[in-house]
Amino acid sequence: MGVIASCHFLGSSSQGNCLLVKSTTGNFLIDVGLTGRQIVKCLPAFGITIQDIGAIFVTHEHLDHSQGFRGLAKYTHFQCFANQATAAAIDNKFGKSFSWNHFITGEIVHYQGFEIETFSIPHDAIEPVGYIFRSCDGGKSLCWMTDLGYVPQNIRERIKKSDILVLEANYDNIMLENDEKRPPAIKNRIRGRYGHLSNESAFDLVANAADAEWQKIFLAHLSRDCNDSRLLEALFGKDIFQKFDITVVDPHDAIGISYSCL
C-alpha cells in the first residue's frame, strides 16, 4: 500500500510551485509551476527521472502552478489529475488536450494506495482546490494548501488531522504596500478574499489551532518581492516554530528543502 516516504520542493514562489512526493508505490508531483525543462533537470538530484513520475495533481490553472505542462506534453506515461474546469482551462491555455483524470471537487480520489481528499479553496482561479493525501496503510498524511485569500472555518477543521501541512504565507502587509512594482489594483487583488494569504493570516491559522495534529509545517509560496523569511520567524516566534516543527521555504532557493516521512 502507499506510504509517503519523503517530500521535496522543486520550487515555491510566485515564479513557480512544485512538490515532488516519493512514496512506497511510486512518485508524483503536486503542481508543475516550473518549466518542463526545469522539472526534468531537477529530478535526478532526488534519484529519479521524469519517467519515474506516475502522476501530477494540479490545484489550479495559474501559470505558477501549471506552466510545466507545456514542456511535459511529450511525456504520456503519467496520469494528470484535476477537476474538469481546471483541466479545460489548462488545455485552452496551452492549446493542447492533455490526458486527464477528472474529479468532482469535494470527492475522494484513489491513487496507488492513497485516498486523496479534494476541497474547494477561495482564490481567483476557475475552480481551485487543496489536497489532503492520506495513506490507506497508516502512513503520514500531507495537506497542500496554497493560493487562497482567507481560510474558511470548514477548511480550518478539515486540515487539522494532517501530519504535514504545506501552507501559504505569501506576503508581508507593509512590504506589499511599499512595493513599487505592483500597481494598486494588483495589490488589492493579492490581499483580497480571493487572493493570497498574508503572514498574519497564516500565523492566525497556526496559532489558533491548539488541537491540530501537524507534525511538520512548511510555510510556502512566499513572494520574492513582498516577503522575508526573517519576518515570518519573528512573527511566529520560537515556541510555535518548535511546537509544529516549522520550515520557511526560501522563495529564491526552494529546491533541496525536503522532509523524510519514514
- With a cut of 70, list the residues of the chain below it in pLDDT: none
Sort strands 114-120 and 129-135 into parallel, antiparallel or unpaired: antiparallel
Q: Which among 123, 124, 78 has a CA at the least distance from the CA of 101?
A: 78
The three three-digit cell numbers of residue 58, written as one number: 494540479
Domains of the chain in sequence order: 4-253 (3.60.15.10)
The Cα–Cα gap between 30 and 101 comes to 14
What is the value of pTM for the model shown?
Answer: 0.96
Residues 52/43, Cβ–Cβ less than 8 Å: yes
| Core vs surface per residue 41-66: b (16+ CB within 10 A) or e | ebbeebebebebbbbbbbbbbbebbb
pLDDT at 220: 98
pLDDT at 2: 84
For the segment 215-229, what is each residue's pLDDT rounded down to a tens digit?
999 999 999 999 999
